[in-house]
């Protein structure tokens, strides 16, 4: 069971470079999320997708774009990376609680550690 | 909007001692509450969750949590801590927005250190 898979696991960028973090889930979940984790700040929601074809901003969306490519895949793009975007990024998926089989929890990938110099 | 407060940034306990990690939430309706654990360099693993019913919920690794509506709290407890419990612990509240989308809001975490 792969669950939620993120790539790459590690990346070093120079200021101004662009990159895309990839995420795929094999649990047939409708909702997918991107969080960033910084020391002392917990996890903050960047963007989420409640269903295929929809995306919405979270708490800290500036400097990021997302694409929900299909039900399985949700990518996060940094168009012009800045040192403030140095962080660990987590992708997650969920079925919420209202749909049959929904457990409400988020299932997380292992994280992608990004350093912007 | 919902929010979660974890008052303790860092807690140190001796191995074998009891543990209580505090969590307070703010949400207008009955919340969906979660505790996650994160070992260094790892992703987040669900310890337990509360939706409704019995206010004392049991989780994995010997953890339990008690939902107290009057105090807006969902504290995590373990009667005897093991060295392998050293990790960071996150409390979270799940809720649906007005547009019908589901989100989890996390606290800032409590780092647990265990003294042998």
Q: Do A21 and A112 contact (CB within 8 A), yes or no?
A: yes
Task: Give the pLDDT band of residue B41 (cuts 50, 70, 90).
Answer: confident
Query: Is the C-alpha dihedral spanning B1, B7, B12, B17 positive or negative?
Result: negative
In this complex, the residue of B42, B90, B96 whose CB is nearest that of residue A42 is B90
Residue A101 pLDDT: 62
Alpha carbon dihedral B44, B32, A57, B3, in 10-degree steps, equals: -90
What is the distance in angstroms between the Cα of A96 and the nearest Cα belonging to chain B? 6
Q: Which two tokens stand for residue A58?
A: 């979270």
Does residue B50 surpass a pLDDT of 70? yes
How many degrees, rounded to 5, is the angle at CA B102 between CA B9 and CA A42?
A: 15
Average pLDDT over residues B98-115: 90
CA dist., res. B34 & res. B36, Å (int): 7
Which residue in B has a C-alpha nearest to residue A91's C-alpha?
A: B43
Residue owning tokens 């898979």: A5
What pLDDT digit, counting tens, does each position of A33-83 carry? 999 999 889 999 999 999 888 999 999 999 999 999 899 999 999 999 999
In this complex, the residue of B32, B94, B101 whose CB is nearest that of residue A56 is B101
């Amino acid at each position: 069971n792969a669950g939620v898979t993120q790539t790459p696991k590690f990346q070093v960028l120079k200021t101004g470079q662009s990159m895309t973090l990839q995420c795929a889930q094999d649990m047939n979940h409708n909702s997918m999320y991107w969080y960033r984790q910084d020391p002392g700040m917990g996890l903050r929601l960047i963007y989420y997708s409640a269903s295929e074809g929809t995306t919405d901003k979270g708490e800290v969306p500036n400097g990021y774009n997302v694409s929900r490519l299909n039900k399985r895949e949700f990518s996060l793009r940094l168009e012009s990376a800045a040192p403030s975007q140095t962080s660990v990024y987590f992708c997650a998926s969920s079925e919420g609680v209202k749909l049959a089989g929904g457990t409400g929890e988020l299932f997380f990938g292992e994280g992608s550690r990004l350093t912007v110099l | 909007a919902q929010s979660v407060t974890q008052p303790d940034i860092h807690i140190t306990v001796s191995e074998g001692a009891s543990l209580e990690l505090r969590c307070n939430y703010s949400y207008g309706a009955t919340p969906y509450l979660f505790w996650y654990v994160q070992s260094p360099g790892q992703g987040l693993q669900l310890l337990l969750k509360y939706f409704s019913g019995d206010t004392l919920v049991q989780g994995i690794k010997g953890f339990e949590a008690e939902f107290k509506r009057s105090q807006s709290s969902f504290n995590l407890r373990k009667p005897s801590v093991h060295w392998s419990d050293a990790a960071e612990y996150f409390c979270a509240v799940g809720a649906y927005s007005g547009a019908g989308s589901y989100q989890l809001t996390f606290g800032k975490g409590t780092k647990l250190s265990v003294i042998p």
